[in-house]
Amino acid sequence: MLRNAFEPWHLLVILAVLVLLFGAKKMPDMARGLGRSMRILKSEAKALKDEQPSEASSR
pTM equals: 0.53
CA distances from 30 to 6, 13, 19, 21 (A): 22, 18, 11, 12
Instruction: Judge contact between 21 and 30, C-beta under 8 A.
Output: no
pLDDT value at residue 35: 94
Domain-wise residue ranges, the chain: 25-59
Q: Which helix (H) or strand (E) holds 28?
A: helix 27-58
The angle at the Cα of 17, spanning 12 to 18, to the nearest 5 degrees, equals 95
pLDDT value at residue 58: 54
What is the pLDDT tens value at each position of the chain, 59 positions in all? 556 677 888 889 998 998 898 888 888 898 899 999 999 999 999 999 888 765 555 55
Give residues with Cβ within 8 angstroms of 30, minimum separation 6: 22
